Amino acid sequence: MAAEKWVLMVTAQTPTNIAVIKYWGKRDETLILPVNDSISVTLDPDHLCTTTTVAVSPSFDQDRMWLNGKEISLGGGRYQNCLKEIRSRACDVEDTEKGIKIEKKDWQKLHLHIASFNNFPTAAGLASSAAGFACLVFSLAKLMNLKENQSQLSAIARQGSGSACRSLFGGFVKWILGKEGNGSDSLAVQLVDEEHWNDLVIIIAVVSSRQKETSSTTGMRESVETSLLLQHRAKVQFLILSDCLEDIGSCYNN
């Protein structure tokens, strides 16, 4: 096999998550840092999920991505931010069966092809961005042999879409808003796993699969700029969150 002919691929599946205490409003739009902590429950990957395949080959001359079979631009800052963060942490990879050896430094010049499918309506309010960016970061981390743990990966997924950080764990998940200016401590942690509340059933009724008229980014920006109540909401949510955590904790202990 000629050196240029090989392709190395990884496929992953990631579920979406539904907020119990909702993330709404950013304090930093570039790093995607929220104004409040949030909690969500991750859905069963057999139901609503994203499947993403990432591939690398010396024959690829640029990074490209297809979403639900249609090519999309990777130009938007969010995709580039995730790719940059992951490439900077990439490690050596060796596939002895295929005779492929990629060194850490090679990742800076190798290009990627990414194909992703959502098995539920995209951009319609069912958190496709959460499942999508979590799956993108997870599959790339596997391909490039990152050593980071799930919470550290969640801080990268967050830079694609805030709520994506919570989709890297099952069960009930908290996104800690964090204090650091660079966002390094704004990440997700698992509160209890998917076995914790086994008989919990979430029914999702899709009333429309059409793309929503106001994207979450625009909606949040308008709330931050114009709502006098948003700061109060963030504070009230903090109190509810504390209660919620106690409840989950006490169920867990029982």
> For residues 211 and 227, which CB has a smaller minimum distance to ligand ADP in the complex?
211
**Which of 127, 156, 173, 188 lies at the binding interface for ligand ADP (CB under 6 A)?**
127
- Residues numbered 34-63 forming contacts with ligand ADP, rule: CB under 6 A: 50
Q: Does 186 bind ligand ADP (CB under 6 A)?
A: no
The site for ligand ADP, by CB under 6 A, has a size of 17
> For residues 102 and 165, which CB has a smaller minimum distance to ligand ADP in the complex?
165
Region of 41-49, 122-130, 179-187, 244-252 interacting with ligand ADP (CB under 6 A): 122-130
What angle, rounded to 10 degrees, do the helices at 77-89 and 128-143 form? 30
Beta bridge partners of 34: 26
Q: Are 101 and 94 in contact (CB under 8 A)?
A: yes
Least separation in angstroms between residue 215's CB and ligand ADP is: 4
The gap from C-alpha 90 to its chain's centroid, in whole angstroms, comes to: 18
Q: Does 159 bind ligand ADP (CB under 6 A)?
A: no
- Residues numbered 81-120 forming contacts with ligand ADP, rule: CB under 6 A: 116, 118
Rounded-to-integer distance, Cα 251 and Cα 196, Å: 9
Rounded-to-integer distance, Cα 57 and Cα 3, Å: 10
> For residues 107 and 120, which CB has a smaller minimum distance to ligand ADP in the complex?
120
The gap from C-alpha 222 to its chain's centroid, in whole angstroms, comes to: 23
Task: Please name the residues in contact with 192: beta carbons below 8 A apart, sequence gap of 6 or more.
Answer: 171, 172, 248, 251, 252
Q: Is residue 232 helix, strand or coil?
A: helix
> For residues 128 and 154, which CB has a smaller minimum distance to ligand ADP in the complex?
128
Contacts with ligand ADP, residue ranges (CB under 6 A): 50, 67, 116, 118, 122-129, 132-133, 136, 215-216
